[in-house]
Chains A and B, each alone.
Chain A
Amino acid sequence: MSSSPSDWEVVIGLEVHVQLHTRAKVFASSPWGFGKEPNEQVDPVVLGLPGTLPVVNREAVEKSILFGLVVGSSVPEQCAWDRKNYFYPDNPKNYQLTQKDFPVVVGGQVEIELPGVSRNVMGEHKFIRIHHAHLEEDVGKLSHAGSGSLVDYNRAGVPLLEIVTEPDLRSAAEAEAFLRSLVALLTQAGVADCDMEKGQLRCDCNVSIRRRGAEKLGTRTETKNLNSISSVRDTVIYETARQIRELEAGRTITQETRGWNAELSRGYILRDKEDAHDYRYFPDPDLPTLRISRETVARLQKLVPENLYDRQRRYVEKLGLPFTAASVLVANRELAEWFEAAAAVHPANPQGIANWVTNDLLRDLAASGTAGALLTDEVLPAVSLASCPIKPVQLAGLVKLTDDGVISKQQAKEVFAEMFKTGQEAVAIVDAKGLRQNSDTGELEKIVQEVIADAAVAKSIAEYRAGNEKAINALKGPIMKRTQGKANPILIDQLLRKFLG
């Protein structure tokens, strides 16, 4: 009897390789970055020349510890490096320095948010446990050109933090949500930039399935080297379907290492268990065990930013922001901090400020090309608001002018546009444009009475008095015309009702 897909549960564990944001490589003083000529960023240590020795880059260790603190792991007293031996031309020493037994991060968890039923409804939250994360060196890149092979060691020795989850993920959506959260945590803490187009985040994806309710895990496959969130999602979907098909056809799942062809959206076998490498791990004799002092941990603890979901809850619960605005703001730490700086200047109306930021500011930034990525649906990289022409205090000033009735909402839009163009203060723009509302009751009463007396609006007055509320709007146009649009619309409405009542 065939079963439906819902009879099966998928179990996913991820190994996420993240290039850390550091100036120098992990065991050498050579700098690294994207877009250099091949083999420009190498030195005798990176190339593994005879006699050279690795030296641990403290910045890389500290960024790793910071990640541990971000995910709430208990920072170990010490960490150490091992050699993973294998021969391949992209590996300058033919061993990779990695951490097998004493990783720099042990435990921790990442909160994830699943998509809600619609954009403005918050989805379910879950915690995904981190098994450990270890600090290792990246390898070079081998390419085959014509009859020969070429190797570029610019990437060799780039600090790589491999973050290994427990098998806590249960769907492609959860895997996707996990990676989005992880990227947000890493970028917001300044641990990594996670630019996937530059290969700064790569993922190995372990998938197995079991009958719903079963305890024993099924045989897993590992799909290696996925370089985008969508590839991980597609791999999980593909691999789940494939494994269900295999098991339901009475076959078994082989523990194997697989690859993913993103263009064809298909997985393929790289090697099976029999071909598994014997890496002959042993403790690296060149790098002594590194003690991690509690002073270092305390110093790094101060650099841990507010967790994005804690921040989101605070925005919704304490500041009264709608979920949609809160979720947009917290996805980018700089944007959230920009918003908070503005809200601190004008604490009376955080919702108003959030509206301006998430609608007008992001739209104009995107249009001016300074922060296009802020609006993209894929991961949110660390985008700079430094070039934003409006300062938080200026936006707060604009919202306050509106809230105080000095300008109308319509006028505020005009002021915002000018502010974005020139970076001037709201008050200055209002004064220069003569945009101040007329709220002089005495003057407006006179004008209102004159308009009411005009025979041209008699029909509308009659309709209003007959119960057609909207008919009153026909009187507002002539009033605005006489005041060059500056009349306070709320005051006019009140006066009209008073005199027509």
Chain B
Amino acid sequence: MDEPLHTLSAAELGRRLAAGPLTSRALCEALIVRYHAVNKKVGAFTHLDEGDVLAQADASDVRRKAGQGRGPLEGVPVAIKDNIAVKGQPLTCSSKMLASLVSPYDAHVTERLRAAGAILYGRLNMDEFAMGSSTENSAIQKTFNPWDLACIPGGSSGGSAAALAAGLVPLALGSDTGGSIRQPASHCGVVGLKPTYGLISRFGLVAFASSLDQIGPMARCLEDCELLLGALASADARDMTCFSPSDRALTPAGDAKKLRIGIPKGFLGKGVGAEVATAVTAAIEFYRSQGCAISEVELPSADLAVPTYYVVATAEASSNLGRYDGVRYGHRSASAGTPVEMMTNSRSEGFGAEVKRRILLGTFVLSAGYADAYYMRALRARSKIRAEYLAALATVDVLLTPTVPTPAFKVGEKASDPLQLYLEDIFTIPANLAGLPAISVPCGKSGHLPVGFHLVGAPLSEAKLLAAGRLFEAAHGFAHQQAAL
């Protein structure tokens, strides 16, 4: 009972809250103390409304006392990436464009968390509009990797991963368009799950690339990740791409020791660092030793994934971000003129360089005369990739690779080389293109920096991914690991 509260898992905190005498207020107060001690170094949170947090905690304590606790997350804080709407809280997407925006409504996942009794705990830093792999594109602040403050935490959900690894909060929401949950999870030594496209409502998630975006749970252990996933996943009529109640049953996990694991042929050739390769190879050998069937699979179109992604994602983004024009909300240029000039100036001033780069790219690939050569072709490639993955996943249960080819790099190291940065997502992007569930599980270190492996499964096979992760976690003790700060 002597462990500091910030080191405990969400599940354990939930159990202690239910059993007493721990109160949500005491827990939140302890985390706020931790926040004041640590957040400045890590830069994970961009906003924490302490009064609001404590008011929520008190309300939770009252509920529990009255025997009206809402389940295992009652009174447990969940931190939220700053692109998911919470009524009355900032919704900046770490952009100057939305610096002043306060959301007038709750996202579906926010409603779900409230219904589960969770405490909505602060706003997490991110790459501007979720565009980036290092959280360096935030217009608000930098976030640093708790395992080495000179390194990036990954991105775009860098604030989420760093907050978990720094013991600032037990649970966090991220969003994942090409790897934005899994890549920072890998870099920070935490668990991150990108669900099957359609499992979790996107209502209230600020769109980057609508056909790829999914909200997902991030945690320090598999149990917590599963707990949070259960709270988030439910049907929502406000998102027409979200599965209806009749279509959303998860495939049962089965026995993790009987999993058929596919290893994509030649993945080690894709710029994978030596220590990453060692850790991931060890994970493969672990599963083999447990009785899993390991086989090599061919995914001939896998090399198309990154270029395909950067056409599809930027095309959608160029349209999704059209609404930020200073007319209704957000940054409005002080240099007036005609309405259209005002819109142009507002966008020029409000967006950062990476966002502008992607809007320009997306506008180009959709333009008359180019759409066939780029956008339409990318859609065909996407179909092909999806078909190949589904075919492979008909013969194996999961595909295993590293999550990221190399461990976290130094802040500023790749800032001038966007193309190099885009390769961070080489293993994670196909799951978004194919709409498949995928998870990053911590599996070792490269030097002092965490390394994770990546599992992709068939649609709605989240339970299998989590069970496979648990098998590994139970044997290796990576659960709950936190950086010493």
Contact = CB atoms under 8 A, between A and B. Distances in A.
B104 A49 contact: yes
Contacts of B101: 50
Given A49-B105, A53-B240, A286-B210, A280 B323 contact: no
B322 A95 contact: yes
Interface string B198-210: 0000111111011
Contacts of B98: 50
A288 B247 CA distance: 15
Interface residues of B, number: 45
B315 interface: yes
Given A50-B85, A55-B238, 17 more contacts: A47-B328, A48-B328, A49-B103, A50-B91, A50-B103, A50-B323, A51-B85, A51-B203, A51-B205, A51-B207, A88-B339, A88-B340, A92-B323, A95-B319, A282-B371, A286-B210, A288-B241
Contact of B319 (A44, A51, A89, A280): A280
A442 interface: no
A44 B93 CA distance: 17
Contacts of A278: 367-368
Given A50-B85, A55-B238, A89-B325, A282 B202 contact: no
A151 interface: yes
Interface in A226-269: none
Which of A49, A50, A95, A285 is packed against the most chain B CB atoms within 10 Å?
Answer: A50
11 contacts: A48-B323, A51-B91, A52-B203, A53-B203, A53-B238, A53-B239, A55-B237, A94-B325, A142-B339, A278-B368, A282-B316
A127 interface: no
Nearest to B211: A285
B305 interface: no
B188 interface: no
A296 interface: no
B107 interface: yes
A51 B239 contact: no
Interface of B: 83-85, 91, 93, 98, 101, 103-105, 107, 202-207, 209-211, 237-241, 315-316, 318-319, 322-325, 327-329, 339-340, 343, 363, 366-368, 371, 375
A282 B366 contact: yes
A288 B204 CA distance: 18
Q: For the complex, would chain B's binding face be called helix, strand, loop or mixed by DSSP majority? A: loop
Interface in A54-73: 54-56
A94 B93 CA distance: 19
B210 A51 contact: no
A89 B339 CA distance: 7
B216 to A, nearest CB: 16
A88 B339 CA distance: 8
A53 B375 CA distance: 23
A53 to B, nearest CB: 5
Contacts of B343: 87, 89
A93 interface: yes
B366 A280 contact: yes
Contacts of A94: 322-323, 325
Contacts of A142: 339
B240 A288 contact: yes
Contacts of B240: 53-56, 286-288
A49 B202 contact: no
B380 to A, nearest CB: 13
A21 interface: no
B366 A51 contact: no
A410 interface: no
Contacts of B329: 49
Contacts of A85: 318-319, 322, 366
Contacts of B319: 83, 85, 95, 280, 282
A87 B322 contact: yes
A424 to B, nearest CB: 53
A376 interface: no
Contacts of B322: 85, 87, 93-95
Which of B104, B240, B323, B327 is packed against the most chain A CB atoms within 10 Å?
Answer: B327
Interface in A267-299: 278, 280-282, 285-288
A44 B323 contact: no
Contacts of B83: 50-51
B335 to A, nearest CB: 14
Nearest to B330: A50
Given A50-B93, A55-B237, A89-B339, A285 B327 contact: no
Contacts of B209: 285
B100 to A, nearest CB: 13
Given A88-B340, A282-B315, A285-B211, A51 B204 contact: yes
Contacts of B103: 49-51
A281 B365 CA distance: 11
A83 B211 CA distance: 14
B175 to A, nearest CB: 11
Nearest to B375: A282
B327 A151 contact: yes
A280 B241 contact: no
B105 A50 contact: no
A287 B328 CA distance: 24
Nearest to A142: B339
Contacts of A494: none
A149 interface: yes
Contacts of A52: 105, 203-204
Contacts of A53: 202-203, 238-240
Nearest to B107: A51
A141 to B, nearest CB: 13
Contacts of B104: 44, 49
Interface in A353-368: none
B210 A285 contact: yes
B327 A44 contact: no
Contact of A280 (B84, B204, B371): B371
Nearest to A84: B319
Contacts of A151: 327
B47 to A, nearest CB: 16
A-B CB proximity, top 7 nearest: A94-B322, A285-B211, A280-B366, A285-B210, A50-B206, A51-B204, A48-B323
